[in-house]
Amino acid sequence: MDDSQTVDLKEPALAAFLAWLLPGLGHWYQGRRAKAVLYFCCIMGLFLLGLYLSSSRDKCLDGPGTIGWGRAVYFSWRDGDHRLAYLCQIGVGAPALPALIQANRMANHRKVWWNGLMAPPRLPEAPLPDGDPNADQPTPNDLYHMDHYFELAGFFTMIAGLLNVLAIYDAWAGPVASAPTGKKDDEDRSHA
């Protein structure tokens, strides 16, 4: 970074929380508007691309419903379905939080919202009482048969969450100082 430039981080803890809550929001709060827009566009663009790629109107293989929307982002910690990818995806903050609501509704046998957006898949092995409100939800078998786009969407959304961790650190502590190589930061020093 340019050592001659000081960055006003205001309240770093609040900025870091805001940066987690919505990519770029912490930088916007600090007045670093250009970086806020850059972080928001890059991270949310990647996240939304992942949601789009894991959406489908195709019929489920094991049920009467359709695949639905944004299936790559979901939380599940059940026997046979431990979704570790969500630990990365939650780095995006509020945009990934609907997955927790959907997981809670699924666990309590209540109908999931928003056409299954970010809802965990229905486990066919689990005992399904008559009138299960989520009987139309896809199973893991349905998701892994969405060609390869389910994995690709998982990759995009995980990368988005991990990139936001970098943005959170940037909001907390400012730009990371590069090693003084004499060449890498020439463009910075030329503006000093």
Partner 1 sequence: MHELPLAVANLWHADFWYILPAVAAISLVYAATRHERMQPILLHAGRVAVWILGFMFAVFVVLEAMNWWV
Please name the residues in contact with 153: beta carbons below 8 A apart, sequence gap of 6 or more: 49, 50, 51, 52, 53, 54, 71, 72
Q: Is 46 in the site for partner 1 (CB under 8 A)?
A: yes
Q: Is 57 in the site for partner 1 (CB under 8 A)?
A: no
Binding partner 1 (rule: CB under 8 A), the pick from 8, 79, 130, 187 is 187
Give the span between the Cα atoms of 40 and 164, in whole angstroms.
9
Q: Is 48 in the site for partner 1 (CB under 8 A)?
A: no
Binding string, residues 149-178; x marks residues near partner 1 by CB under 8 A: ---x--xx--xx--x--xx-xx---xxx-x
- What DSSP character marks residue 139? P
C-alpha dihedral sign at 51, 53, 54, 57: positive
Q: Is 179 in the site for partner 1 (CB under 8 A)?
A: no
Please name the residues in contact with 140: beta carbons below 8 A apart, sequence gap of 6 or more: 81, 121, 123
Q: Which residues bind partner 1 (CB under 8 A)?
A: 1-2, 5, 7, 32, 34-35, 38-39, 42-43, 45-46, 49, 148, 152, 155-156, 159-160, 163, 166-167, 169-170, 174-176, 178, 184-185, 187-188, 191
